[in-house]
Chain A
Amino acid sequence: MDYVIQTIISALSFGSFYALGALGIGLLFSVLRLINFAHGDFITVGGFALIVPSSAVVATMAIGSFHPALLLVCIVAIVVLLALVSYFLVFQHVQNASPATMMIVSFALGYTLQNVIVMIYGGRPKAVNIFPELTGQVQLSDGVSVQILQLVIIAVTWVLLIALVLFLRRTQVGIQMRAAAEDFRMARMLGVNGKNVIALAFILSGGLAGIMTLLFVTQTGVLTFRMGVPIMLFFFIATVIGGMGSLVGAVVGGYSVGIVSVVLSAILPEELRGFRDACVFILVIIVLLARPQGLVLTKAAKERV
């Protein structure tokens, strides 16, 4: 029983993390038809922003040594800025190109960011330690103890989800964004400023990436220049499974992928555990064969088929 509760919490925390990532991808896709493969690298850049730029083996904390609240604001601001700059410098110039072209551009941006990091910080992994108090365990009941960070990830995700839903449903700007996501051209013909909506999507997506940076680095305690790549793959899969262009789908997809991976590592026999990701991907293929448009169907997806 204790093991089950621990597994459930672990699954929810993984799922939450992937859901946040998939939301970051989905927000941009819904207004721009861009699958931003640099999203994972935005997270990486946020991580390296914690330390003093140098190729020294031992990392010296810069922003990482700030007061937690200030640290949070600084890192989120930096990643938001990065997302905005990448819109105005890069994606804006290809926004009328095909989705495939935009996706390739995002790969190029991602590799560029990775190589800039290698140039400044060197290619070796660096240990960092932020929010050490979160990596401790908390006793839920007799025999059941979980990592505080896992609970934090779940809580942060739900706060952000509720905030995002309120923003999209209750504010004028949020409603404009939903309109633009459904029918970009019509929204513009009603005076909705297309550029502003896209810029806002980059801000929100970057903000999510910034927060995820902190969660992720707290968890791993290591910075590597490629650390955004494998998680980006899972975000992408979560977005596709959930249904491209649907934010609900992104959340559903994120939780599905997270929960399935954790459950698989809990139930797979010892000798198969190394193949957990392969098993996840096989399930992904099966889901997509059964529902090519993803689990949650949107009007935008319907139109493209």
Chain B
Amino acid sequence: MLLDVDNITVHYGRLAALRGISVTVEEGEIVCVVGPNGAGKSTTLLAISGVLHPTDGAVTFDGKNIAGMSPEAVARAGISQVPEGRHVFTTLNVEENLRIGTRMRKDRAEIEKDYKRVLELFPVLAERRRQPAGKLSGGEQQMLVIGRALLTSPRIMTIDEPSLGLAPNLVDRVYEVLLELRRNRGLTLLIVEQSSERALKAADRLYVLRSGEIQLEGKAADLQDGKRVRQAYFGFEEGVTHEGEVDF
């Protein structure tokens, strides 16, 4: 097991945002965590990346306990996070953005090769290499942060809502790229997603998170009809309440 989040609890002040949740990711797997707003999805990723420290439970990465480590130490251990809202460095140019995570790498010789591969993967970034990242469109910024995370040469990449604020065709493109990376490079992915439809399409396994607790977990193949996922997601029987369609 590459990443093992074991029964962690995370508090914001006195408020528990996560109440004893467990998530595991095997090497080469794509795992999605889905759930409504405020379910604790982002909190889960921040607890893995060392920004938040669990008050209880353990986070084990490649056999090493990483709960309580600093974000930079977690990044150096091989977990690269693409947080919600993209977070490009707007005043740095595209190349500086891409290269900033390579400083911690020890395999100096591989960096240039990886850099070229990322530019091949995202030709638009190659064209705009010298431009400030703040000038890129939303879709281009999403490509940039994924490319930037790739250049840290991670063992696992965690992505928080890659589809947030993007047009549907761009979201398709982002997922295409992610699946391609897994296929060609065996990249392990932990994706947080609000749309369970997307998650069912992309993931090998799925967790449904609501109110800081895991409501359902299983292989995507077993959950394809979507009914159990929807139920876990909303916490009520289909067709029982609420008029109209809920978009998810």
- What is A's interface to B at a CB cutoff of 8 Å? 172, 175-176, 178-179, 182-183, 185-194, 299
Task: Report how many residues on chain B are interfacial, defined by Cβ distance under 8 Å.
Answer: 25
Segment from B67-75, B115-123, B179-187 that makes contact with A: B67-75
CB-CB under 8 A from B72, the residues of chain A are: 188-189, 191-194
Q: Counting CB contacts under 8 A, is B205 at the interface?
A: no
Does the CB pair B87–A176 fall under 8 Å?
A: no
A182 touching B91, Cβ below 8 Å = yes
Beta-carbon nearest neighbor of A184 in chain B = B71
Question: Do A190 and B100 have beta carbons less than 8 Å apart?
Answer: yes
Known: A179-B100, A194-B70. A189 touches B83 (CB 8 A): yes
Q: B residues within 8 A CB of A178?
A: 89, 91-92
Query: Looking at chain A's contact residues, is the secondary structure mostly helix, strand, loop, or mixed?
Result: helix
Decide if B75 touches A191 in the complex (CB within 8 Å): yes
Contact status A191-B89, CB under 8 Å: no
Contacts of A299 in B (CB 8 A): 90-91, 134
3 nearest A-B residue pairs (beta carbon)? A191-B104, A190-B101, A188-B71
**Are A175 and B87 within 8 A (Cβ)?**
no
Q: Are A183 and B100 CB-contacts (below 8 A) given A188-B70, A189-B49?
A: no
B70-88 CB contact bits vs A (8 Å, 1 = yes)?
A: 1110111000110100010
Query: Which A residues lie within 8 Å of B101 (CB)?
Result: 190-191
Would A176 and B91 count as touching, CB distance under 8 A?
Answer: no
- Name the residue of chain B whose CB is nearest to the CB of A196: B72
Told that A182-B90, A186-B83, A187-B100 touch, could you supply 5 new A-B pairs with CB distance under 8 A?
A175-B100, A188-B71, A190-B75, A190-B101, A191-B75
Known contacts A188-B75, A189-B71; is A175 also within 8 Å of B96 by CB? yes
Closest to A193 in B: B72
A18 to B15: give the CA distance in the assembly, Å. 46
Q: Does B103 contact A (CB under 8 A)?
A: yes
User: Which residues of chain B from 38 to 75 have a CB within 8 Å of any chain A CB?
Assistant: 49, 51, 70-72, 74-75
* Chain B contacts for A187, CB-based, 8 A: 89, 100
Expressed in whole angstroms, the minimum distance between the Cβ of B72 and any Cβ of chain A is: 5
Does B155 lie at the interface of the complex (its beta carbon under 8 Å from any beta carbon of A)? no
B163 at the interface (CB under 8 A from A): no
Which residues of the other chain, A, contact B104 by a CB distance below 8 angstroms?
A: 190-191
B210 within 8 Å of A by Cβ? Answer: no
Return chain A residues, CB-CB under 8 Å to B49: 189
In the complex, chain B residues whose CB is within 8 Å of the CB of A190:
75, 80, 100-101, 104, 148-149, 152
Q: What B residues does A188 contact at CB under 8 A?
A: 51, 70-72, 75
Contact with A along B144-161 (1 / 0, CB 8 A): 000011001000000000
**What CA separation (Å) do A183 and B134 show in the bound complex?**
13
Q: How far is the CA of A193 from the CA of B152 in the complex (A)?
A: 14
Provide the residues of chain A in CB contact with B51, threshold 8 Å: 185, 188-189
How far is it, in angstroms, between the C-alpha of A186 and the C-alpha of B96 when the chains are bound?
14
Report chain A residues within 8 Å CB of B83.
Answer: 185-186, 189
Given A178-B92, A182-B91: A189 and B103 within 8 A (CB)? Answer: no
Chain B residues near A179 (CB-CB < 8 A): 89, 92, 96, 100
30 intermolecular pairs with C-beta atoms under 8 Å apart: A172-B103, A175-B96, A176-B100, A176-B103, A178-B89, A178-B91, A179-B89, A179-B92, A182-B91, A182-B92, A183-B89, A185-B51, A185-B83, A188-B51, A188-B70, A188-B72, A189-B49, A189-B80, A189-B81, A190-B148, A190-B149, A190-B152, A191-B101, A191-B104, A191-B152, A192-B72, A192-B100, A193-B72, A299-B90, A299-B134
